[in-house]
Each structure stands twice: as structure tokens, then as C-alpha cells.
């Protein structure tokens, strides 16, 4: 991936990892479009930044994504990089029957949303120079947090989908997976300052350094996520599962 001179779409760009990386990419010399549900958050993210733009996107709606892609390509026909970052994380209790509203919303946002958006933009991207799709997954795609089972499952599914997409678009569109560790963002209540989670600026610095490598790695893995990504391959899955969930419980309750 070239790091400058792109026209980049960042979904979920109004806060957290999406906003931080959108700012870094903008500072690197790219035109950046941030997209999300909340217009006020998007406008705040682009304030004072020429060549940074905002478009509202209802990632839960098939019709909304179709409308968004039409508006996007009409306004920014040079679009060549799509970063699927929008996502939600909800806690669930699997020990008893419970309302599945959160699980269904998680699947729609985290899994169907990126699939629908990629489908809407593929015909355009394959015609572009230096075209790239980056799908944001999670370290929890590889070792699950038991309190967020549907979130983990959607990220594992996007990991698999990304592998298939990379293979079929080889030579046409570069396909990259970004798997963050636990980062200090607003993804869940209190997470912005949670001890033991990676500071957002530190994470963003590391991601940009990895993206600048030539060739760009197909998986962007900061140091803190590598123990999850390779736990099974290293024969440490069971131990990592126990330690991860103990750490997460202590961090939330500490």
C-alpha cells in the first residue's frame, strides 16, 4: 500500500481507532472521507482539516449502504482505498436464555456491513490504480473473550472472509487485515482509560509504521496482539484463553 496520494474511505471514522488512523492518513498526504452514523462526531473529526470530508452511513441497512456507495462514488470518483472499521461490541451472558437484539445488531454491523460495502465498491476498486481494502478485525478473532461471543465470532468471520477476498482479488486489489489488541477507545464503557489496554496514540504509531513497510504485510499486527494471533499455532491456545479472560475481568472490575 502506498501511504500518500490516496483517496481513502474510513468507516467508523468519527471516533476511536477510525478517527485516529484517519487523522494519521490525512497527515500523510491523503484525501480522507470519514463515514458513520453520527454527523456531529464526523464533523468534529474533520474540523480544520482540508481534504478531509464526512459522509453519513447507516451500516446496518442494505439500502443505506447502497445509497451511501452511490453518493460516495459520485462525490469522490478517485476513491482507491476502503477501510472497513465500523463496529460495535456488546457484552452477552450465555449462561441463560437472553434477548438476542445485541447479537443480531453485532452481526449486521460487524459482518454484513463490511460484506455489503465491499460488494457495492468492488467493481469500482478493481479499475483503480493502487486499490486497497483494509478490513479491521480483532485479536479476539483468534482467542475469544467469553463475555463478547458474537463480537468475537463476527471478527473471526471477517478474518476468514478477508483471506478469501485477498486470494480472488490478487493482482487487482491489495487486501489487508488489521487486527487490533485491546486499545483505549470508547468501544465499551470505561475502555478509554482502562489499565493494561494499549494507548490509542501508541497503537496508531505502530500501525502506521507497519503500513509503511514495502511490501505491506497482509496482516497488520502490532506487538501487543501477536500473542493472540499465534496462540494456537504456538500450542498456547488454552493457556492464553484463560489468561486473556482473567485479565479482561480484572481490568473491567479493577
Query: The domain containing residue 48 runs over which residues?
Result: 7-253
Residue 131 lies in a domain: yes
Residue 1 lies in a domain: no
Q: Is 76 a catalytic residue?
A: no
* Active-site pick, 76, 151, 161, 197: 151
pLDDT at position 139, please? Answer: 98
pLDDT at position 245, please? Answer: 97
- CATH number of the domain that 62 lies in? 3.40.50.720
pLDDT at position 254, please? Answer: 64
Region of residue 216 (left: phi > 0; alpha: psi -120 to 50; beta: else): beta
Integer Cα distance of 84 and 118 in angstroms: 9
pLDDT at position 192, please? Answer: 87
The number of distinct structural domains making up the chain is: 1
Residue 149 lies in a domain: yes
The answer to whether the bond into 215 is cis (omega within 30° of 0) is yes
Residue 133 lies in a domain: yes
Q: Which positions of the chain have pLDDT values less than 70?
A: 254
Residue 2 lies in a domain: no
Q: Identify the H or E element spanning 72.
A: helix 62-75
- Burial of 157-181, coded b for 16+ CB within 10 Å and e otherwise, reads bbbebbeebbeebeeebbbbbbbbb
* 232, three cell numbers: 494456537
pLDDT at position 162, please? Answer: 98
Per-residue pLDDT tens digits for 92-110: 999 999 999 999 999 999 9
Q: Rounded to two decimals, what is the model's pTM?
A: 0.96
Amino acid at each position: 500500500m502506498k501511504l500518500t496520494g490516496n483517496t481513502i474511505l474510513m468507516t467508523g471514522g468519527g471516533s476511536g481507532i477510525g478517527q485516529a488512523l484517519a487523522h494519521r492518513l490525512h497527515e500523510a498526504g491523503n484525501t480522507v472521507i470519514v463515514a458513520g452514523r453520527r454527523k456531529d462526531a464526523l464533523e468534529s473529526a474533520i474540523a480544520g482539516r482540508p481534504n478531509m470530508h464526512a459522509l453519513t452511513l447507516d451500516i446496518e441497512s442494505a439500502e443505506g449502504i447502497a445509497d451511501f456507495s452511490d453518493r460516495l462514488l459520485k462525490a469522490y470518483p478517485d476513491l482507491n482505498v476502503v477501510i472497513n472499521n465500523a463496529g460495535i461490541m456488546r457484552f452477552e451472558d450465555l449462561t441463560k436464555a437472553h434477548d438476542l437484539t445485541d447479537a443480531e445488531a453485532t452481526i449486521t454491523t460487524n459482518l454484513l456491513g463490511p460484506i455489503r460495502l465491499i460488494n457495492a465498491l468492488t467493481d469500482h476498486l478493481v479499475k483503480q490504480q493502487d486499490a486497497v481494502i483494509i478490513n479491521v478485525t480483532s485479536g479476539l478473532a483468534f482467542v475469544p473473550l467469553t463475555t463478547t461471543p458474537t463480537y468475537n465470532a463476527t471478527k473471526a468471520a471477517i478474518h476468514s472472509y478477508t483471506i478469501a477476498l485477498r486470494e480472488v482479488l490478487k493482482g487487482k486489489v491489495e487486501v489487508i487485515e488489521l487486527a487490533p489488541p485491546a486499545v483505549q477507545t470508547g468501544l465499551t464503557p470505561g475502555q478509554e482509560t482502562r489499565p493494561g489496554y494499549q494507548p490509542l496514540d501508541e497503537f496508531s504509531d505502530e500501525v502506521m509504521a507497519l503500513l509503511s513497510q514495502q511490501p505491506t504485510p497482509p496482516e497488520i499486527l502490532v506487538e501487543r496482539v501477536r500473542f493472540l494471533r499465534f496462540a494456537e499455532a504456538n500450542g498456547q491456545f488454552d493457556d492464553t484463553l484463560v489468561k486473556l479472560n482473567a485479565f479482561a475481568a480484572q481490568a473491567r472490575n479493577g
